[in-house]
Amino acid sequence: SFWLVETLVRRKEIDRADAILQRAEHIAGELGLFAESADARNNTFLGNMPLVFSQVEYARAALAVDEAVRRTPRRTRISEGSI
């Protein structure tokens, strides 16, 4: 998910990237910990938890979205298609 977020930011699909990141954050819950993977249909984690690689990729994805939002005017951030 986090690699997808970074890819979407590079493609200038910032709103979609942000929505995916927010969904992952919702699954992480109050502690903000991520496992190896997640089941998006059930909003549950799969695999080992917490996993440092997932935490690092989350941080990279969050920084990419934040940076893109700061440098892109709101009217040009709305991407086409559904999330």
Contacts 24+ apart (CB under 8 A), 79-83: 79/12, 79/13, 79/14, 79/15, 79/16, 81/16, 83/15, 83/16, 83/19, 83/20
Separation of alpha carbons 38 and 28, rounded Å = 10
Q: Along the chain (83 residues), what's the average pLDDT of each consecutive run of 10 residues? A: 91 92 84 79 78 85 92 59 46
pLDDT in tens, 29-44: 778 888 877 787 888 8
pTM for the whole structure: 0.69
